[in-house]
Structure 1
Amino acid sequence: MSTTTEIAAASTNEQTLEITRSTRQWVALAVLALTALLLSLDVSVLYLALPALSADLGASTTQQLWMLDIYSFVLAGFLVTMGAVGDRVGRKRLLLIGAVAFGVASVFAAYASSPGELVFWRAVLGVAGATLMPSTMGLIRTIFTDEKSMMTAIGIWFSCFMGGMAVGPLVGGLLLQHFWWGSAFLLGVPFMVLLVVVGHRVLPESERQSGARVDLASALLSLAMILPIIHGFKEIARGGDRAIAAAAVTAGLTMAVLFIRRQRRIENPLVDLTLFRSRSFSTALAVMLIGGVVMAGVSFLSTQWLQLVAGLDPLGAGLWMLPANVALLLGSSSSAMIARRLGTGRTMAAGLGICATGLAAYTQIAPAAGLGLLVLGMSLASFGIMLPSTLTMSVMMQSAPPERAGSVASMSETSGEFGVAVGVAGLGSLATFVYRDELAPYAAEHASSGTTVALDSLAGAVQAASTLPGAAGRELVTAAQGAFTTSLNVVAGLGALLFVVVAVAALRFLRH
């Protein structure tokens, strides 16, 4: 009898421990997801605060660009290095250090008294952000060891990250309506305090690469590789000096060759190149990169179409994009559930197929009747892209040893940064080429200074039309809007084709 009682008591104790362990896991995930929400919220809030802080600080156009760009430049440049640092010193330790640094830098940025000072603290925020992003993903790999729970956790993390992007403009608008521009930076401070206090208690420390040090030369080479390439693509996207942009990209690619050579030679590389021998890892990374390229390029052109062709103001354009934001959240939250039914490879392929379908709808957009098709197409593409985006991280994590989780997360996020830069610059350049080619016959027939300006961009065409007589101005705008819509059709068609190709690759290489 006593033996039966002891067995029952032991079983009860085991169940209690399991409940406690499970609760601790999900509380830890809540802390990590809060970090993701805050990071994405912090980025999107600044866009609304820029006009007010520029006027207050007297920032020039160039300084405004640096205020926006320095964060993403530094973040992208340090992701790989900080991912490796977390693998070596412990991701929990690095996360807490980064949270303190992010909070302190946010306070100094909020009370900056000059453009240069704000640019400096934005750079510090970029470094701190680079410690937080790979650390959160690496810790998810440590906390959730089985495939199903890891996929669910990553889906929740992505939902919070995308949710921050979606509600950022709304939160920013409310803050800036009642407070000064510095409140956009102070928003994150209490959350970072909460992260440090709660995270210290509930987050486990990750496995470390004992005895391994971060190779300083590799860290410097990674910066010299990533920063010039992203800077070059951003210059192309904003219509800067093409020669300087090409030189920057060339310099970055040269550093990339040196970086790869060094990783092959040293004993403890910053990036473990042997990971690329795994077809699953390489395919997942390619899906992440190409998805970023296509979606960034199409989204960039869509916002212009909504304002310059559909004639919506910025608020109206943002409201019409809300269905796509909701679709993003639905896709990220449902990907793990769908994958459990269909399997990872099929779910990723299905998501990419939905993306291709959405972009196919884009190819039918016309200047006079395209708003509904654009919203439908962007919503389908947004839902579809979240299925593979959420799962690629899980696939990459499972393809690598646990002690490399931080490096894997940083590679994934760096590929995302590259995807956005290449998508806006590359597909933006393709759209410009098609736009000019379509408008060239009209410009040749109605040669004037106005049509010359119109060939540069749709915004230039709208501005030039305001200086022309009524009928001539309307004809120019109509021709330019038609040319721009054609360029959007072409870019979307190319994106749909790329998604079909990647879907086939996912179906083939991620079947198991």
Structure 2
Amino acid sequence: MPATASIDVIDTDGARVGARGWAALAVLMLPVLLVSVDNTVLSFALPEISVALAPTGAEQLWIIDVYPLVLAGLLVTMGTLGDRFGRRRMLLIGATGFAAVSALAAFAPTAGLLIAARALLGFFGAMLMPSTLSLLRSIFTNRDQRRFAIAVWASAFSAGSALGPIVGGFLLEHFAWGSVFLIAVPVLIPLLIGAPLLVPESRDPHPGRIDPISILLSMAAMIPVVYAIKSLAVDGPTLKAAAFAAVGVAMGVLFVRRQLRAETPMLDMKLFARGTFSGAILVNLLSVVALVGFLYFVSQHLQLVLGLSPMIAGVALVPGMVMMIVAGLAVVPISRRVSPHIVVPASLLFSLAGYLLVAFSTSDHGVAPLVIAFVVLGIGIGAAETISNELILSSAPPAKAGAASAVSETAYELGAVLGTAVLGGIITAFYRGALVIPSGVPADAAAHARETLAGAYTAAQELPAQLGAELWDAAASAFGSGVFVTSLIGAALVVAAGTIAAVTLRPAQHS
């Protein structure tokens, strides 16, 4: 289908799939589960990684962020290549590479090598995610079935996140931190066996030529902008951050101009003229920023401040993950009868309540307020993500499903970067500003304590008992001081997502 084809929502009366289609869905859930487990496990493994590899504050953020940064920069490219060369083929290549690099990451001896392995995981992960969503678009042509399949797809992220803390907690309590990467191997082997048997190949019948310049421009637009945001969050306003942001914006403008002029563009920019498509993308982005930012500081608070083991900290967040799954599935019948511009903002009110609960709960932020807050936060995010992902796919022509899926996944991964960089950077800045080093603490220990909360924990363990306790109390208090402001910022992001949904997802714009 040419890139200038209509982007009307497809007919709801497409053929319904049988057992083979649902079996294919089960196979396609494996990479989704893996990526979500990997993200959750890494957040919970971060304190142990920080102790073992002693990364700086910037390196600690890069360990988390380099994967979604590389992935976000390549998603549009890989989605387009999947449209051209076959989405199932890209899925299988990505799965093979992801499993191999995961095994290498498990034995990384330094923070730098772990960051490099995470970057390679982003490269192969970019092949996985657009392929899963676009293959669902080609398998489930009936919109009611597709809406439910996408709800299951979105819920797989939550299921993996719920499973991750349990599996990861068990591994971290019995094995070294590298074990959390090895779980990719047994998950991806069934995919490599089942996908060729159950998942039909699909591609764009009129893909056009490969445009290397557009590929380079898309990466040159994404990576500098995200890096600038990270630098701003960690170091504050600097000339370097401004320069990277300017380069990224300039490359983005050139990319858009090239797509508008091309006969068969790499990314059909006309998709963004539709309110449901662009609005749903923004809802995805802001919702994920709020979710990932919450998990970033809560996982550290549960383990380091409240002293929970990784496994118990994971169990504490399971109720929220479960409610995210339940909400994502429960919203499907509701969305058939109620307009998205009502359902999404109403759902996000729950997420708003979750952040406000954290902000205004007791100053010590015990386990109970955080568990309850994540439950209500998860309800809103789960429902909003199901609806927004379905709208993104249904607004694009079937032949361009890979590119549309890539845009959706780009918003998700960019949100993951921003959640860690912005909210994580803000709480790190407040931590450093509020930390008062007790007198008598050696300069080296003080420097480690100022870097990260994990650094303070390690430094406190190496000091005499009384002095170490004073340093740790000061660090825990300083970390908690940033929770209030960070929670209010997260609440503002949820309000922005709800407002965008109310304005852009009205029936007149997607009927």
Fold-level similarity (TM above 0.5): yes
User: Bigger CA drift: 252-261 or 129-138?
Assistant: 252-261
Rounded Cα–Cα distance in structure 1 between residues aligned with 2:60 and 2:368? 34
Structure 2 gaps, min length 5: 1-14
The aligned amino acid for 1:151 is R
In the alignment, is residue 233 of structure 1 matched against residue 234 of structure 2? no
- Corresponding residue number in structure 1 for 2:27: 31
User: Bigger CA drift: 224-233 or 386-395?
Assistant: 224-233
- Corresponding residue number in structure 2 for 1:504: 502
The aligned amino acid for 2:86 is G
- Corresponding residue number in structure 2 for 1:139: 135
- Corresponding residue number in structure 1 for 2:90: 94
Rounded Cα–Cα distance in structure 2 between residues aligned with 1:348 and 1:98? 33
Indicate the SS of the match to 2:200.
coil
* Counterparts in 2 of 1:307 and 1:491: CA distance versus 1, 3 Å: farther
- Corresponding residue number in structure 1 for 2:68: 72
Asked if structure 2 preserves the Cα contact closer than 8 Å seen for 1:353 and 1:499, the reply is no
- Corresponding residue number in structure 2 for 1:380: 376
Asked if structure 2 preserves the Cα contact closer than 8 Å seen for 1:352 and 1:388, the reply is yes
* Counterparts in 2 of 1:261 and 1:171: CA distance versus 1, 3 Å: same
Rounded Cα–Cα distance in structure 2 between residues aligned with 1:480 and 1:119? 28
Asked if structure 1 preserves the Cα contact closer than 8 Å seen for 2:30 and 2:188, the reply is no
Rounded Cα–Cα distance in structure 1 between residues aligned with 2:295 and 2:47? 22
Rounded Cα–Cα distance in structure 2 between residues aligned with 1:70 and 1:471? 34
Indicate the SS of the match to 2:134.
helix
Shift in Å, 1:287: 0.9
Residues 61-460 of structure 1 correspond to what in structure 2 (within 5 A)? 61=56, 68-110=64-106, 120-176=116-172, 183-210=179-206, 212-239=208-235, 242-303=238-299, 306=302, 316-368=312-364, 371-428=367-424, 459=453
Shift in Å, 1:232: 2.7
Asked if structure 2 preserves the Cα contact closer than 8 Å seen for 1:363 and 1:493, the reply is no
The aligned amino acid for 2:212 is L
In the alignment, is residue 494 of structure 1 matched against residue 496 of structure 2? no
Q: Deviations over 1:229-255 (max 9, x none)?
A: 222333344458844333323322222
Shift in Å, 1:426: 3.3
Structure number with greater CO (CA < 8 Å, separation at least 6) is: 2
Structure 1 vs Structure 2: percent identity of aligned residues?
Answer: 38
Rounded Cα–Cα distance in structure 1 between residues aligned with 2:309 and 2:413? 28
Rounded Cα–Cα distance in structure 2 between residues aligned with 1:217 and 1:146? 37
User: Bigger CA drift: 319-328 or 77-86?
Assistant: 319-328
The aligned amino acid for 1:332 is G
Indicate the SS of the match to 2:405.
helix
* Counterparts in 2 of 1:436 and 1:198: CA distance versus 1, 3 Å: closer
Larger Rg: 1
The aligned amino acid for 2:393 is M
Shift in Å, 1:405: 0.7
Asked if structure 1 preserves the Cα contact closer than 8 Å seen for 2:234 and 2:425, the reply is no
Rounded Cα–Cα distance in structure 2 between residues aligned with 1:447 and 1:78? 46
Rounded Cα–Cα distance in structure 2 between residues aligned with 1:340 and 1:292? 24
Shift in Å, 1:77: 1.5
- Corresponding residue number in structure 2 for 1:15: none
Asked if structure 2 preserves the Cα contact closer than 8 Å seen for 1:458 and 1:484, the reply is no
The aligned amino acid for 1:195 is L
Shift in Å, 1:182: 5.4
Asked if structure 2 preserves the Cα contact closer than 8 Å seen for 1:348 and 1:503, the reply is yes
* Counterparts in 2 of 1:81 and 1:313: CA distance versus 1, 3 Å: same
Indicate the SS of the match to 2:396.
coil
Rounded Cα–Cα distance in structure 1 between residues aligned with 2:408 and 2:390? 11
Rounded Cα–Cα distance in structure 2 between residues aligned with 1:73 and 1:470? 37
* Counterparts in 2 of 1:190 and 1:326: CA distance versus 1, 3 Å: closer
Rounded Cα–Cα distance in structure 2 between residues aligned with 1:106 and 1:138? 24
User: Bigger CA drift: 348-357 or 38-47?
Assistant: 38-47
